[in-house]
Amino acid sequence: MRYTFLMRPEYSGRKSRVFEPSSTEPFRISRSKIDLFLECPRCFYLGQRLGVKRPSTAPFTLNNAVDHLLKKEFDSHRAKGDAHPLMKKYGIDAVPFKHKDMDRWRHNFSGVDTLHAPTNFLVFGAVDDIWENARGELHVVDYKATSKDEEVSELNDSRWHDQYRRQMEVYQWLLRQNKFRVSDTGYFVYVNAYRDRKAFDGKLEFDVRVIAYKGSDRWVPSVLEKANKCLLSKRIPETGEACEYCPYREAAGRAFKAAILKNGGKTCIGESGTIKKDETGTPTSARLF
């Protein structure tokens, strides 16, 4: 018996560029996709090899606003060639790094990039900022915004903070591949919105801290090779232990199958009884129940 699952338009055959094992063209892989592979090889394979990405999430617009304003603030000191007050407060002997490619390095779809020859991956990642110390070494800087009751003065052992560490280390690796002298020490500019104010009054107030982190990018090449091996395989890999998407996908499939069997093997169409199709006649959406 064949079961047809009707999909939303974004999952109806419109695929992103996928990995082709026989292709000699470099395959673009972002820093976030490297992290996805570590989180869940199956979701990584579905997106990069089969073209079915995870559903997109709502944008973090307030975080993006903080990110934008921090960049403007540090850029004003970059233009003047002097240190930001936070650097002075934390005893960091550095200034915002001036480079003609800074705007490109910050752009989500270009970033700092490099070709990893063993895998033919064109690896890229968009940095928030880069500082240069008195010795000519570069420090990767990442802005983080949150709102917690407790102070954030260091990274903990949570899954999110592990992702932050890997993010920093991939950026360090990318800059080193571009022949820059990069310090192992990076910095998180961490802004924590106060929640104990009596009223909103049309503004948020933040506790702003700089958290130093000493990273190691030695893991990056081996993970790229494992990700490449995953994409070259014809076998769909196992799910990640902490993945929330794979269990949902499997549970939804079982529920659909049970409902169709209960209905005598017929697809249950919604109240309108209408199946939307694209210009090729392919079903794109329908209410199953």
Three-class DSSP labels, 101-158: CHHHHHCCCCCEEEEECCCCEEEEECCCEEEEECCCCEEEEEEEEECCCCCCCCCCCC
Contact status, residue 210 vs residue 235, Cβ threshold 8 Å: no
Looking at residues 178-184, what average pLDDT do you find?
98
Which letter does DSSP use for residue 50 in this model?
Answer: S
Looking at residues 178-189, what average pLDDT do you find?
98
Task: Check residue 276 and give its pLDDT.
Answer: 56
- The residue ranges of DSSP E strands in 152-268, in sequence order, are 185-193, 206-214
108-145: per-residue pLDDT in tens? Answer: 899 999 999 999 999 999 999 999 999 999 999 999 99
The pLDDT-based confidence of 272 (bands split at 50, 70, 90) is low
Strand order in the sheet with 129-133: 94-96, 129-133, 138-146, 185-193, 206-214
